[in-house]
Structure 1
């Protein structure tokens, strides 16, 4: 004979309700004990009867399990909030990147079909301002290069003058030493002349 299935709904009879509560509560706590023992699970059960009476079961202690649950819930909330924040941030960054890419294309003269007169005028003003900045930057670089070339030219001129001075000093020293050598070889010694005269007279 098969067991008749009980319809899951509130039991109207108070006595039958209390009997069913007691039986099912004991069975529930027994299953919790078996699950905790077999699977090394940390379990806490809190049950209030219809009369307000408290029944509880815990593999360790109810406050300890509740504290662990609170900590886990906080971590879960933080994780979900961070995930939502990351999604929002990613969505905003993606939209901003798409807008920047569109603006860059328009600055290149691409995809201008959907723009109206005012938008085209603003784009033209942006291009004019950008062109002015480019020209200004180019002029600054050219002025810096010209100044650098001028300073280099001045340095070369100073170096050239220094080399000329060194060359002139060397030539003057060379001429002075040459004249000194020529003067010493052109004048014959006087002692030789007097001795030669005396010899010639004696022989006569």
Structure 2
């Protein structure tokens, strides 16, 4: 008998709802843990129950560090989006000005100089928009390059520490083996050449 499909709506029975919450919460945390280990990703999971109880899970870096990273990322994205929106708004406002002037009843009375000035204003707005877009792209690339450098340095440090730990383990094994062999040879020597006893 197959499992019946669960309807995606609030469970009315309180005890059933609590049991489902407990089971699915555990399953969700388990899946988050597996994903963080298998894919080497940072995960932060925050759950508030209907009673206001907090359940949380975070990968090795810790919840605070991941949330701080998210906050910085969100602020950077918001700042970039704000700058783009401002550039687009100034561009849109200029388009409205041009359009309103062209749609006025006396549009046919505009001189060649008036039209040239409107064209210059529009070209200037387009140039400013393109320049700002290029600047934002370059800043984004530089930020990503800085992150890449930091990650590379961190990776190299971890590799050096790992190599040092492996080297220490190997040296420790050699010392133990050498001691054992020396002790073994010493015992053989005492068996082959017993110490003479005085009469």
TM range (shorter): 0.3 to 0.5
Computing the radius of gyration from Cα coordinates, the structure with the larger value is 1
Higher relative contact order by CA 8 Å / sep ≥ 6: 1 or 2? 2
For normalisation by structure 2, the TM-score amounts to 0.47
